[in-house]
Chain A
Amino acid sequence: DIQMTQSPSSLSASVGDRVTITCRASRTISNYVNWYQQRPGKAPNLLIYAASTLQSGVPSRFSGSASGTLFTLTISSLQPEDFATYYCQQSYTTPNTFGQGTRLDIK
Protein backbone atom coordinates (compact mmCIF):
# COMPACT_ATOMS: atom_id res chain seq x y z
CA ASP A 1 0.00 0.00 0.00
CA ILE A 2 1.08 3.58 -0.58
CA GLN A 3 1.59 5.38 2.73
CA MET A 4 0.69 9.06 2.99
CA THR A 5 2.63 10.67 5.83
CA GLN A 6 0.97 13.91 6.78
CA SER A 7 2.47 16.60 8.99
CA PRO A 8 2.04 18.18 11.34
CA SER A 9 -0.61 16.15 13.15
CA SER A 10 -1.84 19.31 14.83
CA LEU A 11 -1.26 23.00 14.40
CA SER A 12 -2.32 26.13 16.26
CA ALA A 13 -2.63 29.37 14.33
CA SER A 14 -4.39 32.71 14.34
CA VAL A 15 -6.85 34.32 11.96
CA GLY A 16 -4.88 35.87 9.13
CA ASP A 17 -1.93 33.48 9.42
CA ARG A 18 -0.47 31.59 6.47
CA VAL A 19 -0.50 27.85 7.11
CA THR A 20 1.17 24.95 5.32
CA ILE A 21 0.36 21.26 5.67
CA THR A 22 2.42 18.60 3.96
CA CYS A 23 1.88 15.04 2.84
CA ARG A 24 4.65 12.75 1.65
CA ALA A 25 3.86 9.68 -0.40
CA SER A 26 5.85 6.48 0.11
CA ARG A 27 6.47 6.27 -3.64
CA THR A 28 5.90 8.23 -6.83
CA ILE A 29 2.24 8.91 -7.48
CA SER A 30 2.41 11.68 -10.06
CA ASN A 31 -0.18 14.30 -9.09
CA TYR A 32 -2.85 11.90 -7.85
CA VAL A 33 -3.44 13.67 -4.54
CA ASN A 34 -6.62 15.20 -3.20
CA TRP A 35 -7.13 17.37 -0.13
CA TYR A 36 -10.23 17.40 2.09
CA GLN A 37 -11.43 19.57 4.94
CA GLN A 38 -13.51 18.05 7.73
CA ARG A 39 -15.30 20.09 10.36
CA PRO A 40 -16.35 18.37 13.61
CA GLY A 41 -19.35 16.10 13.15
CA LYS A 42 -19.47 16.70 9.41
CA ALA A 43 -18.48 14.82 6.28
CA PRO A 44 -15.21 15.66 4.55
CA ASN A 45 -15.36 18.34 1.87
CA LEU A 46 -13.18 18.25 -1.24
CA LEU A 47 -10.86 21.25 -1.47
CA ILE A 48 -8.26 20.36 -4.09
CA TYR A 49 -7.83 17.53 -6.59
CA ALA A 50 -4.91 16.51 -8.79
CA ALA A 51 -2.55 18.11 -6.27
CA SER A 52 -3.23 21.70 -7.28
CA THR A 53 -6.66 22.17 -8.88
CA LEU A 54 -9.14 24.05 -6.73
CA GLN A 55 -12.57 22.44 -6.51
CA SER A 56 -15.41 24.67 -7.68
CA GLY A 57 -16.68 26.93 -4.91
CA VAL A 58 -13.58 26.62 -2.72
CA PRO A 59 -12.06 29.99 -1.72
CA SER A 60 -8.88 30.98 -3.52
CA ARG A 61 -6.95 31.29 -0.24
CA PHE A 62 -6.56 27.50 -0.50
CA SER A 63 -3.87 26.22 -2.82
CA GLY A 64 -1.99 23.00 -3.44
CA SER A 65 1.36 22.12 -4.92
CA ALA A 66 3.53 19.11 -5.59
CA SER A 67 7.23 18.41 -5.75
CA GLY A 68 8.14 14.80 -6.36
CA THR A 69 6.48 12.81 -3.61
CA LEU A 70 5.87 15.84 -1.38
CA PHE A 71 2.48 17.50 -1.55
CA THR A 72 1.55 20.74 0.14
CA LEU A 73 -1.72 22.42 1.10
CA THR A 74 -1.45 26.12 1.84
CA ILE A 75 -4.03 28.45 3.34
CA SER A 76 -2.85 31.97 2.60
CA SER A 77 -4.84 33.87 5.22
CA LEU A 78 -6.74 31.83 7.79
CA GLN A 79 -10.40 32.60 8.30
CA PRO A 80 -12.46 31.51 11.33
CA GLU A 81 -14.26 28.84 9.29
CA ASP A 82 -10.94 27.22 8.30
CA PHE A 83 -10.31 25.75 11.74
CA ALA A 84 -10.92 22.08 11.01
CA THR A 85 -9.08 18.86 10.24
CA TYR A 86 -7.42 18.39 6.86
CA TYR A 87 -6.67 15.12 5.08
CA CYS A 88 -4.67 14.27 2.00
CA GLN A 89 -5.61 11.23 -0.08
CA GLN A 90 -3.83 9.42 -2.89
CA SER A 91 -5.95 8.21 -5.79
CA TYR A 92 -3.04 6.75 -7.79
CA THR A 93 -3.89 3.18 -6.95
CA THR A 94 -6.09 1.08 -4.70
CA PRO A 95 -6.28 0.86 -1.83
CA ASN A 96 -6.77 4.60 -1.85
CA THR A 97 -5.10 5.85 1.30
CA PHE A 98 -5.52 8.93 3.41
CA GLY A 99 -3.02 10.81 5.50
CA GLN A 100 -3.46 10.71 9.28
CA GLY A 101 -4.99 14.19 9.29
CA THR A 102 -3.90 17.62 10.52
CA ARG A 103 -6.04 19.28 13.16
CA LEU A 104 -5.91 23.06 12.82
CA ASP A 105 -6.87 24.89 16.02
CA ILE A 106 -7.24 28.53 16.95
CA LYS A 107 -4.23 29.85 18.86
Chain B
Amino acid sequence: QLQLQESGPGLVKPSETLSLTCTVSGGSMSDSAYSWGWIRQPPGKGLEWMGTIYYSGSTYYNPSLDSRLSVSIDTSETQFSLKLTSVTAADTAVYFCARLSYYNNGGFSVDCFDMWGQGKMVTVSS
Protein backbone atom coordinates (compact mmCIF):
# COMPACT_ATOMS: atom_id res chain seq x y z
CA GLN B 1 0.00 0.00 0.00
CA LEU B 2 1.47 3.31 -1.10
CA GLN B 3 2.14 5.80 1.65
CA LEU B 4 3.32 9.40 1.60
CA GLN B 5 4.95 11.19 4.52
CA GLU B 6 5.91 14.85 4.78
CA SER B 7 8.96 15.87 6.78
CA GLY B 8 10.84 19.04 7.54
CA PRO B 9 11.01 21.89 10.04
CA GLY B 10 7.83 22.89 11.80
CA LEU B 11 9.01 26.45 12.41
CA VAL B 12 10.54 28.80 9.87
CA LYS B 13 11.56 32.42 10.35
CA PRO B 14 10.11 35.17 8.17
CA SER B 15 12.08 35.85 4.97
CA GLU B 16 13.71 32.43 5.12
CA THR B 17 13.10 29.36 2.93
CA LEU B 18 10.58 26.68 3.81
CA SER B 19 11.80 23.23 2.74
CA LEU B 20 9.74 20.05 2.96
CA THR B 21 10.27 16.54 1.69
CA CYS B 22 7.67 13.92 0.84
CA THR B 23 8.83 10.32 1.13
CA VAL B 24 6.92 7.78 -0.93
CA SER B 25 6.94 4.18 0.28
CA GLY B 26 5.24 1.03 -0.88
CA GLY B 27 5.42 1.98 -4.54
CA SER B 28 7.54 3.48 -7.29
CA MET B 29 7.66 7.16 -8.18
CA SER B 30 9.01 6.44 -11.64
CA ASP B 31 5.72 5.05 -12.98
CA SER B 32 4.51 7.40 -15.73
CA ALA B 33 0.95 6.83 -14.56
CA TYR B 34 1.50 9.25 -11.69
CA SER B 35 2.59 12.77 -10.93
CA TRP B 36 3.15 14.42 -7.57
CA GLY B 37 1.85 17.57 -5.96
CA TRP B 38 1.78 19.88 -2.97
CA ILE B 39 -1.37 21.38 -1.47
CA ARG B 40 -1.55 23.57 1.62
CA GLN B 41 -4.22 24.61 4.09
CA PRO B 42 -3.90 27.66 6.38
CA PRO B 43 -5.37 27.11 9.85
CA GLY B 44 -9.17 27.07 9.69
CA LYS B 45 -9.21 27.72 5.95
CA GLY B 46 -9.60 25.85 2.68
CA LEU B 47 -7.23 23.99 0.38
CA GLU B 48 -4.81 25.71 -1.98
CA TRP B 49 -3.06 23.86 -4.79
CA MET B 50 0.59 24.90 -4.81
CA GLY B 51 2.21 22.96 -7.62
CA THR B 52 2.65 19.67 -9.42
CA ILE B 53 5.65 17.89 -10.85
CA TYR B 54 4.75 15.58 -13.70
CA TYR B 55 6.36 12.26 -14.50
CA SER B 56 8.03 13.99 -17.45
CA GLY B 57 9.79 16.33 -15.03
CA SER B 58 7.69 19.33 -16.02
CA THR B 59 6.43 21.53 -13.23
CA TYR B 60 3.40 23.74 -12.88
CA TYR B 61 3.07 26.22 -10.07
CA ASN B 62 0.26 28.35 -8.72
CA PRO B 63 0.88 31.89 -10.04
CA SER B 64 -0.16 33.23 -6.62
CA LEU B 65 3.14 31.94 -5.31
CA ASP B 66 4.99 33.93 -7.95
CA SER B 67 8.49 32.67 -8.39
CA ARG B 68 8.91 31.64 -4.74
CA LEU B 69 8.09 27.97 -5.24
CA SER B 70 10.10 25.13 -6.65
CA VAL B 71 9.29 21.42 -6.64
CA SER B 72 11.78 18.73 -7.51
CA ILE B 73 11.78 14.96 -7.61
CA ASP B 74 14.34 12.30 -6.84
CA THR B 75 13.09 8.99 -8.15
CA SER B 76 16.12 7.10 -6.91
CA GLU B 77 15.34 8.15 -3.36
CA THR B 78 11.55 7.92 -3.70
CA GLN B 79 11.20 11.48 -2.53
CA PHE B 80 10.06 14.80 -3.87
CA SER B 81 10.51 18.16 -2.27
CA LEU B 82 9.17 21.66 -1.98
CA LYS B 83 11.05 24.89 -1.45
CA LEU B 84 9.22 28.12 -0.78
CA THR B 85 11.39 31.21 -0.46
CA SER B 86 10.88 34.52 1.34
CA VAL B 87 8.15 33.19 3.60
CA THR B 88 5.81 35.37 5.64
CA ALA B 89 3.18 34.66 8.28
CA ALA B 90 0.70 34.13 5.43
CA ASP B 91 2.59 30.93 4.56
CA THR B 92 1.70 29.37 7.90
CA ALA B 93 -0.29 26.27 7.00
CA VAL B 94 -0.54 22.52 6.96
CA TYR B 95 1.35 21.30 3.91
CA PHE B 96 0.18 18.12 2.20
CA CYS B 97 1.98 16.09 -0.43
CA ALA B 98 -0.18 13.98 -2.72
CA ARG B 99 -0.12 11.62 -5.66
CA LEU B 100 -1.83 12.75 -8.85
CA SER B 101 -3.38 9.81 -10.68
CA TYR B 102 -4.81 9.66 -14.17
CA TYR B 103 -8.00 7.89 -15.09
CA ASN B 104 -9.51 7.19 -18.49
CA ASN B 105 -13.06 8.45 -18.36
CA GLY B 106 -15.17 8.12 -21.47
CA GLY B 107 -12.17 8.46 -23.73
CA PHE B 108 -10.57 11.42 -22.04
CA SER B 109 -8.02 11.49 -19.26
CA VAL B 110 -8.86 13.03 -15.93
CA ASP B 111 -6.56 13.54 -13.00
CA CYS B 112 -7.11 13.75 -9.26
CA PHE B 113 -5.18 13.55 -6.01
CA ASP B 114 -5.95 10.03 -4.84
CA MET B 115 -3.30 9.50 -2.17
CA TRP B 116 -2.24 12.06 0.43
CA GLY B 117 0.31 12.39 3.18
CA GLN B 118 -0.94 13.12 6.68
CA GLY B 119 0.17 16.74 6.47
CA LYS B 120 2.91 18.79 8.11
CA MET B 121 2.11 21.92 10.10
CA VAL B 122 4.58 24.72 9.36
CA THR B 123 4.53 27.95 11.31
CA VAL B 124 6.29 31.06 10.07
CA SER B 125 7.33 33.14 13.06
CA SER B 126 10.38 34.81 14.51
Interface residues of A (CB under 8 A from B): 1, 30-32, 34, 36, 38, 42-46, 49-50, 53, 55, 87, 89, 91, 94-101
Contact = CB atoms under 8 A, between A and B. Distances in A.
Interface of B: 39, 46-49, 52, 60, 62-64, 96, 98, 103, 105-106, 108, 110-114, 116-119
A50 B64 contact: no
Contact of B110 (A91, A98, A99, A100): A91
Contact of A99 (B46, B111, B117): B46
B62 A44 contact: no
Given A94-B62, A95-B60, A97-B49, 12 more contacts: A31-B105, A34-B110, A36-B113, A43-B117, A43-B118, A46-B112, A49-B114, A50-B106, A50-B110, A89-B49, A89-B113, A101-B47
Given A43-B96, A50-B105, A98-B49, A91 B111 contact: yes
Contacts of A31: 105-106, 110
A30 B105 CA distance: 12
B47 A44 contact: yes
Contact of A43 (B52, B108, B116): B116
Given A50-B110, A53-B105, A91-B111, A43 B46 contact: no
B103 A49 contact: yes
A98 to B, nearest CB: 4
Contact of A95 (B49, B111, B116): B49
A23 B103 CA distance: 22
Contacts of B108: 30
Contacts of B105: 31, 49-50, 53
Contacts of B116: 43-45
Contacts of A97: 49
A64 B118 CA distance: 26
A95 B63 contact: yes
B46 A32 contact: no
Nearest to A35: B112
Nearest to A94: B60
A100 B117 CA distance: 21
